[in-house]
Structure 1
Amino acid sequence: MTHNSTTDVTPHWAAQMHAQEVIDGKLDRREFLTRATGLGVSAAAAYGLLGLTAPAAQAATEMKSGGTLRVQMEVRPLKDPRTYDWSQMANQTRGTLEYLVEYNNDGSIRGMLLESWEVNEDATVYTLNLRKGATWNNGDAFTAEDVARNIAGWCDKGLEGNSMAGRFSTLIDPETNAAVEGGIEIVDDHTLRLNLPGPDISLIAGMADYPAAITHSSFQTTDFTKNVGTGPYLLSSLEVGVKAVLDRNTAHKWWGEEVYGTPALDRIEYTDFGTDPSSWLAALESDEVDMLYESVGEFIDVMDALGYPKSEVVTMATIVVRPNQLAEVDGKRPYADKRVRQAIQMAVDNAVCLELGYGNRGQAAENHHVGPIHPEYAKLPPQKYDPEAARALMDEAGMLDFEHEIISIDDDWRKNTTDAVAAQLRDAGFKVKRTVLPGSTFWNDWVKYPFSSTNWNPRPLGVQIHALAYRSGEAWNEFGWSNEEFDALLTQALAIADADKRREVMKKMEMIIQDEGVTIQPYWRSLYRHMREGVANADMHVTFEHHHYKWGWSA
């Protein structure tokens, strides 16, 4: 294929050169691992180029065979995985519905149902090599036809709430809102080729995201305990808001035993203790659970003092407190006015949000949703915090008497952060009403509220976040924002694998989001998880994933 001069994609032969840049201190190791593994270099080979041994190849904690692990986590209603909008949903089904690839804390991407993949020099052709030993847990063969069917489903832009369409937009024909003709090519039973009409470096990373669970042709949403998957566990019971249980599938051997070993646990139980962290701590202390989904707020210090083991990971997880530009309030769209949005942003000090909302466990962000861990991050000059100027701008927009209703969920850190924003807006002279909703209510319309806060998981690449949340018309664009210049720059950035060159485009994108006052994105937070002594290989994951096949109790 002819090289496209507008792209700059790192082929395998360049991996050695970039590995030397890491060794020389010119390139971040995490960036190298994400770049190399995303384009087809195995994690073991990538580490080998650095003179290191991949963590997956190192001995994990020796575990007992069998046992149950009880986990505190919200038990959410399930639906088609393409429309999953909370990590908890994926964790409830992850033991059964697996993924083509897996993203790990070191930034590497390794194969699960894919054994390997190759990407051509201009990132327009992806060759996917399936694991030949993988089977469905009803005995059906796992073939390229299954993967082709799932990818075609990801490209179905007509399915409401299908966020996978945002991850695979390059493969979608805008005229049909489906995969481009000839875009998904079955080569043989275990080989699939994606032929893209334009370059896109993010597809493999997108396959690791939690809505990308691989489903069987018989998948249905009537009874999720009946669904066929490829994983070692079966979802044996589901009571929304109460409990979900995963049991080892003893009737069918998991394909992964030949690759990753036999899973240790017989059973995983998820119990919903609501959104109040004090109830999570009480459950841990009363021996009702063995591990928390995550630890937040002042309870981190409390559980540290009580001696519970803690797992911590630095991440690009965050919160946005955003006005929705399309939302109507009393027949008007108050946040369609750029001046209103800019005034809101100018009235809020992100460092105060970090302190009051998350106890300074993280670092202040810059209101554009790309951060220091992202390879293409471009640091911008500090934005001006100026409540007086914010008040003047709001007055100029004729909105000084308008009452802003800011909605949040009723938990700890998200509620506290939103409270901090509301307080600062009041200090600037704005009228603010705070509404706090229980989770069961808040989750129903999270993308539609006129002004609300939402937590966001990290993604390996900054361009992934922008493609999911900020591109015009995407399912997760909760900002109601549309900008042709930004969309064009994003398309350009998705074609550039070299992070230094992609950073030049990203800087322009970051500046547009800031200038448009799209959102208050106040800080990046570190993630924590406390657990009982003896829980093994269940560290906090950078994107909240639960890899059940790794978990167990130490021997």
Structure 2
Amino acid sequence: MMTTKIHPAVNDLKSDMEKGKLSRREFLRLSTLLGVSAFTATQMAGLSWVKSAAAGSVKRGGTLKIATALQKISHPSAYSWLGGANVTRQVAEYLTLTDNKNITHPYLLKNWLASDDLKTWTLNLRKGIKFNNGDIFNADDVIFTFNQWLDEKVGSSLKGLIGSYLDPTGLERINDFQVKLHLKRPEIGIPEHLFQFTAQVLNHRTFEGDFLKAPHGTGPYTLERYSEGEIAVIKARKDYWQKGVDGKPLPYLDEMQFIDMGTESAPMIAALSSGDVDFIDMADRGGNDIFQALKNHPEIQIKSAPTASARVLRMRVDMKPWDSEKVRLALKKCHNHEKLLALCYMGEGLEGQDFHVYPLHPEYCKMPVPAYDPQGAKKLLAEAGYPDGLTVNLAVGSGWPDVVKYAEVLKQDAIPGGFKINIQTMPTSQYWEKWTEVDLGITPWTHRPLGTIVLNLAYKGDDTGKPVSWNESRWVDKEFSEILEQANGTLDVEKRRKLFCKLQKIQYDRGSIAIGYWLAVWMIARKNVKGIQGHPNAHMLFNEVSLA
């Protein structure tokens, strides 16, 4: 990934690291975003490079069976849940890859180069890569895919993220294997944005809106079958561009089968325990009940990763009573974060703080966990015109046991604060159909490696002021948006952290969410599955997974 020019800010980052103002982890993350290879950045940080496994330790062949829930899929750019992406990511790939340590690497890209002002990004593509139908991957596919993300009619979450700094007119095709992005404002997070789960690269010659009708990707597998609610089958290609440690094309497996087992945990636990399946896809699940049931099983391995995944209680600010800042703050004050983490997730995570920035995000501004304050909540409700309290409905998906428990604990703890909460449970698939529409709900949000990413995805408006597609609460705050735009283009971590102190306070004081707790995330498989690594998003990066 090393370019002919190192971005001038890299030396400043290295100096900050040496002065103790920046951790090695933060240096690795930021320097790789600016185009330094992971190998070089590791050396600059004074760390050793981990070598790959030896060829003799890998066995080829076999079928990996995965317990999951298969929902309807069509356009990868418009996914709103991770499970579908975990199937199609084996077939279609990404321009970049953010690993289990939150370091971003080139993938379909050979490398990238950012201008000094972070407003022009040159993307250099790998050559010699083919789609599974024989078409050559080139710049036309990249530009086509970007345009899908930016198309209002597609409804991609990336429209809100990438569209805030890039218009279709800013895409420039230099040649078959180079594309330039001309941005409306500075942005450091582009390489990580290109690995959002909705960012799978599409074949411009064959894709017409439904991936199942033309499942042509550059990945190591071909999609043989996808039956919603039943099974998905993918089979290994013979001509994939990546090589294994034995010098032969990946993948090591012959086949993967994704078996729909619904959203209840018990059947999945039983199937993994008996060996009927090899792996449980945890991408759209909390998984604490599965973890607790299997953590001491002698035939099971569990891999974990630090994560910014959370359960987000969100309030639609365009609907009463949530249009009142005082009512929203009152419900936040009914959160006992320590109790929620203990009862809902067995303490396996961190307490939330009612703003969507995780303590391990590099720009996080340290703040105390808000206190449980039901009397303060009751006072705010009275000031908002509800002296006798308020009855509200709370929508939750029944397939997330910890979310249901969150609702039950909050219901009880909110009574002294003046709230009567009616819990409306529904199948998880039904919740995903209406997750942006309910007035009050608890939505699972997956990990993002930078605080700026999730804030741009969920808490701002587009150029016209309209909430972006994943702004489920419809909250758009002018001051918040202006400070966020500053943060997007601020490379200096300390300066960005000062901006985040303001962003976090605004989101707590007058924002539209509460976060009870941050989740631990696990990858859970039988011990005969080799090459599994924990990932903060529970992404199944299985090119090099094998069976013993």
TM-score by length of 2: 0.92
Tell me, yes or no, if structure 1 residue 310 matches structure 2 residue 296: no
Instruction: Choose from 65, 85, 89 the match for 1:94.
Output: 89
Are residue 484 (structure 1) and residue 478 (structure 2) matched? yes
The 1:242–1:354 alpha-carbon spacing in structure 2 relative to 1, beyond 3 Å, is same
Distance 1:316 1:225, change over 3 A: same
Written as runs of structure 1 = structure 2, the 5 A alignment for 1:431-470 is 431-470=420-459
Is the contact made by 2:377 and 2:417 (CA closer than 8 Å) also made in structure 1? yes
Q: How far is the alpha carbon of 1:198 from its aligned partner?
A: 1.6
- 2:28 and 2:60 map into 1 onto residues whose CA distance is 32
SS of corresponding position for 2:482:
helix
CA contact (8 A) 1:72 1:272 kept: yes
2:78–2:198 contact (8 Å) kept in structure 1: yes
Q: Is the 8 A contact 2:144 2:202 kept in 1?
A: no
1:390 counterpart letter in structure 2:
A
Q: By how many angstroms is 1:494 displaced? A: 0.5
Between Structure 1 and Structure 2, how many residues are aligned?
530
Partner of 2:534: 540
* Range 12-21 or range 505-514, more displaced: 12-21
Residues 55 and 372 (structure 1 numbering): CA distance in 2 closer, same or farther, change over 3 Å? Answer: farther
Q: 1:200 — aligned with what?
A: 187
Q: Confirm or deny: 8 A CA contact 2:354 2:514 kept in the other structure.
A: yes
Q: Which residue of 2 aligns with 1:324?
A: 316
2:99 aligns with: 104
User: What per-residue deviation string (whole Å, max 9, x for no partner) do you get for residues 360-398 of structure 1?
Assistant: 101112111101211100012442421012112112223
Picking from 64, 67, 85, the partner of 1:72 is: 67
Pairing partner for 2:240 from 229, 239, 254 = 254
**Residues 148, 154 of structure 2: 8 Å contact kept:** no
Q: 272-281 or 447-456: which moved more?
A: 272-281
The yes-or-no answer on 1:522 pairing with 2:512 is: no
Which residue matches 2:410?
A: 421
Identify unmatched segments of 5+ residues in structure 1.
1-9, 173-177, 328-332
Distance apart, 1:11 and its partner CA: 5.7
Shift of 1:272: 1.9
- The reply on whether 1:361 has 2:352 as its aligned counterpart is no
Question: Which one is further off, 83-92 or 133-142?
Answer: 133-142
CA displacement at 1:285 relative to structure 2:
2.0
TM superposition shift of 1:475: 0.6
Pick one of 282, 287, 290 that aligns with 1:299.
Answer: 290
- Give the direction of change, closer, same or farther, for the CA distance of 1:283–1:502 in structure 2 (3 Å limit): same
Q: Name which of structure 1's ranges 42-51 and 486-495 shifts more when overlaid on structure 2.
A: 42-51
Label 1:286 to 1:427 Cα distance change in 2 as closer, same or farther (>3 A). Answer: farther
SS at match of 1:549: coil
| Structure 2 spans left out of the alignment, 5+ residues | 462-466
User: Which residue of structure 1 aligns with residue 464 of structure 2?
Assistant: none
Distance (whole Å) between structure 1 residues aligned to residue 208 and residue 518 of structure 2: 37
Equivalent residue number for residue 6 of structure 1: none
Residues 384-437 of structure 1: CA distance to partner in whole angstroms, max 9, x if unpaired? Answer: 421012112112223344321111111212221222222211243311101111
> 1: distance between equivalents of 2:471 and 2:268?
32
Per-residue displacement from partner, 1:466-487 (whole Å, max 9, x unpaired)? 0001112111111121111111
Q: What is the correspondence of 1:115-264 to structure 2 with a 5 Å cutoff?
A: 115-156=110-151, 158-159=152-153, 161-172=155-166, 178-179=167-168, 181=169, 183-217=170-204, 218-222=206-210, 224=212, 226-250=214-238, 253-257=239-243, 262-264=250-252
Amino acid at match of 2:196: D
Corresponding position of 1:41:
36
Assess, with a 3 A threshold, how the Cα gap between structure 1 residues 15 and 59 changes in structure 2: closer, same or farther.
farther
SS of the counterpart of 1:342? helix
8 A Cα contact 2:67 2:268, kept in partner = yes
Residue 512 of structure 1 corresponds to: 506
CA contact (8 A) 1:225 1:236 kept: no
The TM-score, its normalising length taken from structure 1, stands at 0.91
**How far apart in 1 are the matches of 2:89 and 2:470?**
22
Contact 1:536 1:551 in 2 (8 A): yes
Q: Please give the secondary structure, in 2, of the residue aligned with 1:326.
A: coil
The question of whether the paired residues in 2 share the 8 Å contact of 1:407 and 1:437 is answered with: yes
- Measured in 1, the distance between the counterparts of 2:384 and 2:55 equals 59
How well do the aligned residues superpose, as a CA RMSD in angstroms?
Answer: 2.1
**Is residue 225–residue 238 contact of structure 1 (8 Å, CA) maintained in 2?**
no
For 2:16 and 2:355, how far apart are their aligned partners in 1? 28
Post-superposition Cα deviations, 1:119-151, rounded to whole Å, max 9, x if no partner, equal 011100100000012122222111112111111
Question: 1:514 deviation in Å?
Answer: 0.3
Task: Report the AA paired with residue 312 of structure 1.
Answer: S
In structure 2, distance between residues paired with 1:488 and 1:461: 18
d(CA) in 1 for partners of 2:210, 2:164: 32
Structure 1: distance between partners of 2:521 and 2:211:
33
- Of 221-230 and 204-213, deviating more is 221-230
Contact 1:311/1:528 (<8 A) preserved: yes
Cα distance in 1 for partners of 2:74, 2:446 equals 19
Give the whole-Å Cα distance in 2 for the aligned partners of 1:476 and 1:520.
16
